[in-house]
Structure 1
Amino acid sequence: MRIVDVCAFYTPHGGGVRTYVEQKLAVGPKLGHEIVILAPGDRDEVIERGPNARIITLKSPRFPLDRKYWYFAESAQVHDALDQLRPDFVEATSPWRTASLVADWHGDAPRSLVMHADPLSAYAYRILGPIFSRQTIDRQFSIFWEHLRRNSRRYDMVVCANADLERRLREGGVHATATIPMGIEAGRFSPTHRDEALRARMLAACDLGPDAALMVALGRLAPEKRWPLVIDAVNAASRHAQIGLVMLGEGREQRTILKHIAGNPHVRLFAPERDREAFARIVASADGLVHGCEAETYCMTAAEARASGVPVVVPDAGGAADHAAGGAGLTYTAGDAASAAKAILQIARDRPRPGAVARTIGEHFEDLFASYAMIATGRRRAA
């Protein structure tokens, strides 16, 4: 099949969507499919990524709130591109305007809406949750819910990466939901990459000796990631045990997070590690991974920690919670620093090394594209 991903939030500057796109471009052709990423950019351009794999950018305005991104300003531009590409299957990978753009296209190819974002959890529930119930918040955001419900009826499938998101969407009246979990890079993460000397150096950077517990926190420095909560939880747990926290990330919240660290020598923020082999050693050398975001659709970093035999401390909501199942870690009450501190302290004291479990990104795409093939076959038979 020729699968066209209309991907409004692709940027060459990094992030989870870019990682997913690069993996799709690598895996899809191996499974016999042609993969085309249709994204906004500074210019009209075709970027070849090998046989049956390419990125096509359409000249578009920069996104005003984050200049690393662009947005599709004209529906005709996207529709003309889809007409020329004549896809066998179309994906919309943003629930915002892109969902409507793809739904409005007059072509007869089947299509899916892939939920790479959980906007209500990332924004509305996080900001308003301390004041209002979720039912009240959902009523106040009824326009967004109706947007999802209306568009979902024009899609053959709404793809979720975790069961919690699928359940909430289904209960909210969203049509044709399905859970297809994502996965991690095959062969990259393993307990065998644990490096005690590296672990000691990271603890020394936190002004602690090798007997202390080393927690890592990985990801974009964005408000929905709740890094201040993670820092507060580690600080609270550190009153009862020696714990160092190494954070790897960059983003618009860097100044806020450094201010929150407030010079604490046991909490260090470093730039992301771009070398994947070195990154795998960092993850495997930790005693635990702690994450603050309850709005993850999958939580790649928690999956990578689990594959490395490293216990996770994650919220009890969203995609991150799935990675604590089966004894692989502990969950805490989402948004509650005191609850997170108790879980961190338990990991710091017990130092568990759970068995490594990993679903690969190849398995994800095998399942996803098999679902697409069934839908396309059903359409042809009906026709």
Structure 2
Amino acid sequence: MKIVDVSAFYAPQGGGVRTYVERKLKAALRLGHDITVIAPGEMDSVERRGGNARIRWLAAPTFPLDRKYRYFDDQKALHAALDEERPDFVEASSPWRSARYVADWQGAAPRALIMHADPLSAYAYRWFGNIAARPTIDRYFGWYWQHLLTLDQHYDMIVSASPGLSRRLKDGGLRQVTTIPMGVDPGVFSPKLRDAELREQMLASCSLPPDATLLVALGRLSAEKRWAMVVEAVMAAGCRAPVGLVLIGEGNEAPKLQRLIGENPHVRLAGAIRDRALLARMLASADALIHGCEAETYCIAAAEAKASGLPLIVPEEGGAGDQATSAVDRRYRSGSARDAAEAILSLGRGTVVPLQPARVMDDHFAELFGAYEAIARVKAAA
């Protein structure tokens, strides 16, 4: 099967979507599929990735709010690329403009929309949640729901990675929603990587002794991740118990977070950790993962922490909250630093997490591509 992924969020310096796409390319090759990722780039070009895997860049302008990314602005060029590729199945990986471009393409191939973003949770609910109930916010953002309902009529499948997001989409009237959870890189994360010496070093970097609680956080430093709220929660908990936080990631919120941290020695911004083996050791050596974003569509960070044997301290909503399934996990009221601080203090250091087999990304792609093949067979028969 030839699969074309129109991936508006893919960028060489990107985060979760880049990780997802890179794994998809390898999985497609292993499962015998031909795959092309069409992404917005600096210029028109094709990047070969071995076998029948490639990235086709279409010249596109930079995204003004984050110049690491670009965005599709030429529907004719995208349609011409799809015509030339002649796919058996087409994906759109953003619910915005590119999804409409793919919906309007006149080709016969079936298509799926991958919900890599939850704009209502990331923006509308976060901005207005303190002054209005969600049904009221949904009414004011009825144009977005209508946009999704229109896409639902043009796509054969809308893929959500978390049960919570799937429920909300279905409650909003969408009929093509399918839940296919993601997973972690196989063979990377494990509780066996716990390193007492590394743990002491991380605590020492937070000016804390070995008997303190070490929290780790992981993700892009952007406003919707609510890292400022997480930092406030950790500092509040630290007034009552020795608690340190190592926050791994980079992004435009870093200066704001550094100002918030100020002279507090117990919270450290560690920057990006691109060495996956080191990242896995750091996760396994912490006492818990804390996360702040209620708008995650899956939350790879929480999945990697679970695979590393960590308890989760996460908001009650969104993909992160959906992953808090163990009795040792803690869920707090979304957006509340006070509740998050109480959740931190309620989690005793050295908590033993029941071992669960980790779902890996290969499971996700096998299920996803199998669904594509089934839809393509039905379409062909019709």
Q: TM-score per shorter chain, which class? A: over 0.9
Residues 339-358 of structure 1 mapped to structure 2, 5 A cutoff: 339-349=339-349, 351-358=351-358
C-alpha spacing 1:229/1:354, structure 2 compared with 1 (3 Å):
farther
Q: Aligned residue for 2:125?
A: 125
Residues 25-64 of structure 1 mapped to structure 2, 5 A cutoff: 25-64=25-64
Q: Does 1:288 align with 2:291?
A: no
For residue 325 of structure 1, give the secondary structure of its aligned residue in structure 2. Answer: coil
Q: Aligned residue for 1:109?
A: 109
Aligned mates of 1:281, 1:14 — CA distance in 2: 23
Aligned mates of 2:100, 2:178 — CA distance in 1: 20
Q: Aligned residue for 2:300?
A: 300
Q: Which amino acid aligns with 1:191?
A: P
Deviations 1:284-339, CA, capped at 9 Å, x for gaps: 00000000000000100110010011111011111001221033511111111111
Q: Which amino acid aligns with 1:210?
A: P
Residues 49-88 of structure 1 mapped to structure 2, 5 A cutoff: 49-88=49-88
Aligned mates of 1:275, 1:3 — CA distance in 2: 30
Q: CA RMSD in A?
A: 1.0
Q: Does 1:248 align with 2:272?
A: no
For residue 331 of structure 2, give the secondary structure of its aligned residue in structure 1. Answer: strand
For residue 220 of structure 1, give the secondary structure of its aligned residue in structure 2. Answer: coil
Q: Aligned residue for 1:13?
A: 13
For residue 57 of structure 1, give the secondary structure of its aligned residue in structure 2. Answer: strand
Q: Aligned residue for 2:265?
A: 265
Deviations 1:194-243, CA, capped at 9 Å, x for gaps: 00000000000000010101000111000000001111111121222111
Shift of 1:175: 2.7
Q: Aligned residue for 1:211?
A: 211
Aligned mates of 1:356, 1:262 — CA distance in 2: 39
Q: Is contact 1:241-1:349 (8 Å) kept? A: no
Q: Is contact 1:10-1:39 (8 Å) kept? A: yes
For residue 5 of structure 2, give the secondary structure of its aligned residue in structure 1. Answer: strand
Aligned mates of 2:146, 2:228 — CA distance in 1: 33
Structure 1 unaligned blocks of 5 or more: none
Q: Aligned residue for 1:152?
A: 152
Q: Is contact 2:8-2:40 (8 Å) kept? A: yes
Q: Is contact 2:312-2:329 (8 Å) kept? A: yes
For residue 217 of structure 2, give the secondary structure of its aligned residue in structure 1. Answer: strand
Aligned mates of 1:191, 1:265 — CA distance in 2: 28
Q: Aligned residue for 2:317?
A: 317
Shift of 1:349: 4.5
Shift of 1:350: 5.8
Percent same amino acid among aligned pairs?
55
Q: Aligned residue for 1:97?
A: 97
Q: Is contact 1:88-1:110 (8 Å) kept? A: yes
Q: Does 1:376 align with 2:346?
A: no
Q: Which amino acid aligns with 1:331?
A: R
Shift of 1:352: 3.3
Q: Does 1:365 align with 2:365?
A: yes
Structure 2 unaligned blocks of 5 or more: none
Aligned mates of 2:295, 2:94 — CA distance in 1: 15
Q: Which amino acid aligns with 1:226?
A: R
Aligned mates of 2:233, 2:326 — CA distance in 1: 24
Aligned mates of 2:246, 2:374 — CA distance in 1: 45
Aligned mates of 1:173, 1:217 — CA distance in 2: 35
Q: Which amino acid aligns with 1:340?
A: A
Deviations 1:330-363, CA, capped at 9 Å, x for gaps: 1111111111111111224463333244100000
Deviations 1:223-282, CA, capped at 9 Å, x for gaps: 000001111111121222111111111101111111111221000111111111011000
Q: Is contact 1:243-1:348 (8 Å) kept? A: no
Q: Aligned residue for 2:198?
A: 198
Aligned mates of 1:98, 1:224 — CA distance in 2: 22
For residue 326 of structure 2, give the secondary structure of its aligned residue in structure 1. Answer: helix
Aligned mates of 2:331, 2:288 — CA distance in 1: 13
Q: Which amino acid aligns with 1:164?
A: G
Aligned mates of 2:246, 2:60 — CA distance in 1: 38
Deviations 1:42-98, CA, capped at 9 Å, x for gaps: 011110111011100011111122111111111000000000000000000000001
Aligned mates of 1:346, 1:64 — CA distance in 2: 42
Deviations 1:157-189, CA, capped at 9 Å, x for gaps: 000000111111111112310100001100110
Aligned mates of 2:76, 2:328 — CA distance in 1: 48
Q: Is contact 1:91-1:114 (8 Å) kept? A: yes
Q: Is contact 1:206-1:245 (8 Å) kept? A: yes
